[in-house]
Structure 1
Amino acid sequence: MTSPLNILMIEDNPDDQQFFRDLFSESSLGQFNLHLTDRLKDGKEYLRKHAIDVLLLDLSLPDSFELEGFIEIKEEFPHLPVIILTGMSDFKMAVKAIQFGAQDYLEKWRYDDYLMAKSIRYALERQKLLLEREKVSNQLMNSLKMLDVVNVELKELNEQLEEKVRKRTNDLLKEKQKVEKQHQLITESLQYASTIQHAILPHQQVIMRNIPESFILFKPKDIVSGDFYWAAKTNGKIIIAAVDCTGHGVPGAMLSMLGYTQLNQIVRENGITNPPDILTRLHDNMQNLLNQKFMHSGSSDGMDISLCCIDQKENRVSYAGAMRPLFRYRNGELSIFSGNRMPIGGKYRNGTQYFQGDEFLYERGDTIYLFTDGYIDQFGGNEGKKFKSRNFKTLLKTIHQLPAEQQLEALEKQFNTWKGNEEQVDDILVIGLRM
Structure 2
Amino acid sequence: MSLNPLSVLFDVPHHLDLTIEEHKDFAVVSTAGVLGFLAHIVFFILFFLFDSHFMMYLNIGSILTFACIFYFNRSSSRNPTLLLILASLEILVHATFAIFLLGWTPNFHIYFFIPILSALVISKSNAIAAHIINVTCVVFYIALATYTNYENPIAPLNEIEVFVFEILNISSVSVIVIIVTMYYSYVSNESSKDLIQLNSKLKEQSQKVMSFNNELAQQTEELQIQSEQLENANKHTTDSIRYALRIQEAVLPSFSDLDNLFGEKNVMVFYSPKDIVSGDFYWAKGKAKNKIIVVADCTGHGVPGAMLTMIGESLLNNIVLEKGITEPALILDALQVYFSTLFSGSVHNIKDGMDISISTINYETKKLHFAGARNPITYIQNGEMKTIQGDKMSIGNSNFKSKIGNRFTDHQIDISVPTIVYMYTDGFQDQFGGNENRKFYSKNLRELFLKIHQLPMSKQRTRLKMTFMEWCDFTKQTDDVTIVGIKIDSSSNVEA
TM-score (norm 1): 0.64
d(CA) in 1 for partners of 2:223, 2:436: 38
Does structure 2 retain, via aligned residues, the 8 Å contact 1:291–1:297? no
Distance 1:352 1:264 in 2: 25
- What is the CA-CA distance between 1:291 and the residue it aligns to? 2.2
Larger Rg: 1
* Map 1:46-125 → 2, pairs under 5 A: 112-125=188-201
Give the deviation of 1:124 after TM superposition: 4.4
Cα offset for 1:249?
Answer: 1.1
Query: Helix, strand or coil: the match of 1:409?
Result: helix
Q: Which consecutive residues of structure 1, in runs of 5 or more, have no partner in the other structure?
A: 1-108, 134-156
Greater shift, 332-341 or 296-305, is seen at 296-305
Instruction: Tell me by how many angstroms 1:250 deviates.
Output: 1.1
Partner of 2:451: 398
Find the counterpart in structure 2 of residue 86 from structure 1.
none
Q: Does 1:349 align with 2:425?
A: no
What whole-Å deviation, never above 9, does each CA across 1:256-281 have from its counterpart, x for those lacking one? 11111111111111111111111111
Q: Which residue of 2 aligns with 1:177?
A: 228
The structure-2 alpha-carbon separation of the partners of 1:381 and 1:161, relative to structure 1 and needing over 3 Å to count, comes to farther
Aligned residues: 300
Judge which range, 113-122 or 186-195, deviates more: 113-122
User: 8 Å contact 2:261–2:285 — kept in the other structure?
Assistant: no
The within-5 A match list for 1:282-297 is: 282-291=335-344
Secondary structure at 1:429's aligned position in 2?
strand
Alpha-carbon distance between aligned partners in 1 of 2:212 and 2:466, rounded to the nearest angstrom: 54
Q: Is the 8 Å Cα contact of residues 365 and 401 (structure 1) preserved in structure 2?
A: no
**What percentage of residue pairs aligned between the two structures are identical?**
34
Q: Within 2, Cα distance between the matches of 1:250 and 1:353?
A: 31
Q: Which residue number corresponds to residue 156 of structure 2?
A: none
Match of 2:239 among 188, 202, 205: 188
**Aligned mate of 1:323, from 374, 392, 404:** 374
The aligned residue for residue 382 of structure 1 is 435
**CA–CA separation in structure 2 for the residues paired with 1:385 and 1:171:** 45
Is the alpha carbon distance of 1:167 and 1:252 closer, same or farther for their aligned partners in structure 2, counting shifts above 3 Å? same
Q: Point out the more displaced range, 270-279 or 316-325.
A: 270-279
Structure 2 residue 286 is matched with structure 1 residue 210: no
State whether residues 280 and 353 of structure 1, in contact with CA within 8 Å, keep that contact through their aligned partners in structure 2. no
Q: Secondary structure at the match of 2:261?
A: coil
CA distance in 2, matches of 1:362, 1:429: 23
- Which residue of 265, 270, 281 corresponds with 1:228? 281
Separation (CA, whole Å) in 1 of partners of 2:416 and 2:231: 55
Give the alignment of 1:20-59 within 5 angstroms. none
Q: Quick one: which amino acid aligns to residue 168 of structure 1?
A: Q
Cα distance in structure 1, aligned partners of 2:460 and 2:408: 31
C-alpha contact 1:228 1:242 (8 A) present in aligned 2: yes
- Residue pair 1:339, 1:357 contacting (<8 A) in 2 also: no
Q: Which amino acid aligns with 1:399?
A: I
CA contact (8 A) 2:381 2:417 kept: no
Counterpart of 2:485, as a letter, is: G
SS at match of 1:290: helix
Q: Distance in 1 between matches of 2:274 and 2:453?
A: 26
Deviation string 1:224-254 (CA, Å, 9 cap, x unpaired) is 1111000110111100000111111111111
* Residue identity matched to 1:349: K
Higher helix share: 2
Name the structure where strand makes up a greater proportion of residues.
1
Identify which of 313, 332, 337 aligns with 1:279.
332
Where does residue 24 of structure 2 map in the other structure? none
Residue 95 of structure 2 corresponds to none
Partner of 1:77: none
Match of 1:266 among 305, 313, 319: 319
User: Per the alignment, do residues 357 and 348 of structure 1 end up closer, same or farther by CA in structure 2, a change over 3 Å counting?
Assistant: closer
Distance in 1 (alpha carbons) for counterparts of 2:254 and 2:260: 10
CA distance in 1, matches of 2:417, 2:228: 59
Matched-pair contact (CA < 8 Å) for 2:421–2:485: yes
Q: What SS is found at the alignment partner of 1:112?
A: helix
CA contact (8 A) 2:198 2:223 kept: no
Could you say what secondary structure the match of 1:209 adopts?
helix
TM-score norm. by structure 2 comes to: 0.57
What is the alpha-carbon distance in structure 1 between the residues aligned to residue 212 and residue 441 of structure 2?
A: 55
Measured after TM superposition, the shift of residue 128 of structure 1 is 4.7
